[in-house]
Homo-oligomer: A and B are copies of this chain.
Amino acid sequence: MTAPETESRTVSRPEPNAEPIRVAILGATGKMGRYAVAAVGGAPDLELVAELGSRDPVSAALDAGASHLLDLTVPQVSPDNVAFAVEHGLHAVVGTSGWSAERRETLSGQLAAHPEVGVLIAPNFSVGSVLASAFAAKAARHFPSVEIIEMHHPDKVDAPSGTAVRTAGLIADARQAAGVGASPDATTHDPDGSRGALVDGIRVHAVRLRGLEAHQEVLMGGPGEQLVVRHDAFDRGAYMPGVLLGLRTVASRPGLAYGLDAYLDLD
């Protein structure tokens, strides 16, 4: 959060003549919430109209005159928050986890009755991470070999990371569509499991190291060459450009968008 505002502005700029963006943040007192309060508060084209904690009713967003809801809460309450937003014509950007296919389908149904409202649900708000996964998926069909190494702080309880699982899925789909077979592997002796997990046919290795936050490398190799796409998230500031991009774009994209990819010019 130490970068001069002028820098981030040049990267994700306000659209000219856009309607005013009045943001209510739900979950403003959590870790992500505090970063978001600073980021939205510091953006010249956004107005932070409400910082709501876990005990505040979502209706307070409406009372504060919000046009946009930023939901950074917990899976238990996020669907109700978003349903309320849609019902009242607020655009919503959602960083809360737990939005299963079933929940998203219900939400799409609701949005059909409010065709002017936009909702973005993003499992990962890091623009860099989303770009990295998309690049890996695009490149992986050109190389016989591909493996993923994800590295996180050692307080993380699950392995591999959700981002690594999603990246493996994207890569696997792209390779299958291109008719590329499995990565070559002559291993016959690996008594202790050093070759890691097989996720959708892609090897995934999870490193846990004090000092790290959230990092991922996709290694792709062919005869005589290697292509590496690496993303490092050093702190939650990494997610703020994606949050701002979402808030600035969601009103112009009615309906439900799942994944920040939808808002990046990736194809």
Question: Measuring CB to CB, which residues of chain A are less than 8 angstroms from any residue of chain B?
Answer: 1-4, 7-8, 10-13, 126-129, 131-132, 135, 138-139, 141-147, 149-151, 154-160, 164, 179-181, 183-199, 203-213, 219-241, 264-267
Taking a contact as CB atoms under 8 Å apart, the answer to whether B237 and A225 are in contact is yes
Taking a contact as CB atoms under 8 Å apart, the answer to whether B228 and A186 are in contact is no
Known A-B contacts: A3-B210, A131-B227, A224-B239. Give 5 more (CB < 8 A). A128-B139, A147-B209, A194-B196, A203-B208, A205-B205
Q: What is the bound-complex CA distance between A65 and B213, given in angstroms?
A: 40
In angstroms, how far is the closest chain B Cβ from the Cβ of A99? 20
**A-B complex: 8 closest residue pairs judged by Cβ atoms:** A224-B237, A192-B197, A225-B238, A211-B221, A194-B197, A209-B221, A224-B238, A194-B206
In angstroms, how far is the closest chain B Cβ from the Cβ of A211? 4
Residues of B within 8 A of A141 (CB): 11
Which B residue sits closest to A204, measured CB to CB?
A: B194
Query: How many copies of this chain does one complex carry?
Result: 4
Taking a contact as CB atoms under 8 Å apart, the answer to whether B211 and A225 are in contact is yes
> Which of B135, B144, B181 is the one whose CB lies under 8 Å from A135?
B135
Taking a contact as CB atoms under 8 Å apart, the answer to whether A145 and B224 are in contact is no
Residues of B within 8 A of A189 (CB): 157-159
